[in-house]
Each structure stands twice: as structure tokens, then as C-alpha cells.
Structure 1
């Protein structure tokens, strides 16, 4: 039951974050996800290579961005200027998620600590109850040992007395003969 509650609370963090997400945040997450991938890097290198090749070779006799590729430079600067804030927005969302997760972890740990404390109390109670039962058993065993010891002592006295009587009979029997 506790595990189910902990799992529900964990899912609740993601649901909490997803319920407040805006369109701009979704876009920022997707830009950051794509911008930080090998697909983006390789496609961007290919795009720049094609751009430069078209402008240097001029296959159709048209050159829209001659060397030193000022338009490409402007496009790269614009891309960097737009992409950087979007990535920072995505990182802020990740930071919000981390804060929510940390808060949730704190509450889960607090709840777990309370459950562990409760189990310790139960175990302590059982140990005390066992100690009380063990003391009662030990007292009964001591009483039984004392009773057996008294019986052995009485039997020993009886045997000693019987031996003494037997010796007296032998002595008296020898005197009569």
C-alpha cells in the first residue's frame, strides 16, 4: 500500500508539470531536444555544405550568397540568437521538474522515515513483551530447578539413611551370630 502511494506521488510530479505546460514551453522542449541531437548536427553540417557548394559552383548561374557567405553568417547568427533562449527555457523547465522531484523525494523520505519509526516501535514492543515472557519462563524454570533440587536432596538423604540402617543391620546381624 505504501509502495502504491509512493509510485502515485512520483507520477503526480510529472502530471503536475505536464498540466502547467504552455505551447511555448512545448516548442522550447522540442527545439532543445532536436538541437541537442546528432540528427540536428549532421543535417546542419549538410545544409551548410550544400549552401556553400551552390554559391561557389553556381550550377544554375545564380549565386544568392557569394563568398564570404554573409547571408549564411546572418542565418547562423539568427539561429543561435533564437535557439539559445529556447534551450534556456527548456533548461528552466527541467530545473522546475528537478525542484518538484526533490520536493516529492523529501515528502516520500519523510513518509518512509515515519513508517520506519512505526516499525521500530512495533519491534521494540515485541522485544519488551518477549523479555517479560522470558523472565516469567526463567522464573518458572528456577522454581522447577529448586523443586527438583530439593527432591534430589531429600532422596539423597533417604539413600544415606537407608545405607546407615543397612550398615547397622549388618553390624547388629554380625554381633548376633
Structure 2
């Protein structure tokens, strides 16, 4: 691998609960990525003070700004969230709203509406208390915005039926899927 730039990953942890199930999925992804010598930028949104209404601009800086700057350079963006009231957590939604700042001012008519370089992968690691028949369409729901950002390479790993911290540990398929995805995306 000498001479190759290491894969760069930004993780935005959307759970308000430290060490919860979605954090544990993120931990598995991060451990696997580190083994592959990836460059990792890991942010727990619960620890940051930020406004969901800011822009990615020099005139608006808060504790989320370094993560947004890292996303511009990243090869892989990993979003983690439990499902709360039928959607991603408010923390993650607030951070995702800031992705609007990655769009050019003429994004509605510009054939290249995003300032983000092409080829990034977006990974959503999602945990939920309910069964797999629900909440499998978050990436589809946010698809139009993600398309405008050029985030066309999207991957979803869900763990269903996990409520209490640690439930994910008896959900080996989700953990295995996260590990396999991290290996595949960081191999180069």
C-alpha cells in the first residue's frame, strides 16, 4: 500500500446515548477501518454544540464545522442513528441539514450542484427497536438531497429489534455486515 493515500472516513454519531447500539455498530466499522489503515475522523454529535441552520462558510463556525470540513476531503461518510419517532435522531438530522451548505448557490439549475468531490460513499448504520418491516427507506427518503450532493454510492446496515444498550451484541448479522462493508469500502 505504499504510495497510496489512505482511505479517509468521517463518522457522525447521531445517538444522544453514548455506547448505545448505533455507537456499537459505529465502533465495529471504525475498528475494521483502522485495521485497514484508514484515516478516521470520528464525531459524537451529542458532544458538539452546533446549529442545524448554519452554512459551510467562513462566517459560520461552530463545533460541527471541523466535521463538515473533513467531509469535503473524505472518501466515506458514515452516519449512525437509532430510529426515534419514525426517523433518524434529531442530532443527526440537524447535522444532515448542514449538508445544504455543500450545495452551490445555483444548485437548482446547475448540472454540477455540489461542491463535494465525486465518488464519495455514504453509509447509514441504523438501529431500531421495531422489526425489519419498518424504517428501511431512510436513504430513499433523503435520496433527492443526497443525489444533489453527489452522494450516489449509498449503503445501509440496519439492526432491527434492538432497544436496550448492548442488544446489538446478540445481533451478529448486523455486526458482520458492518465489518464486511467496512472491509470492502476501505480495500484499495
After TM superposition, the score normalised by the length of structure 1 is 0.21
Q: Which has the higher strand share?
A: 2
Q: Which has the higher helix share?
A: 1
Structure with the greater alpha carbon radius of gyration? 1
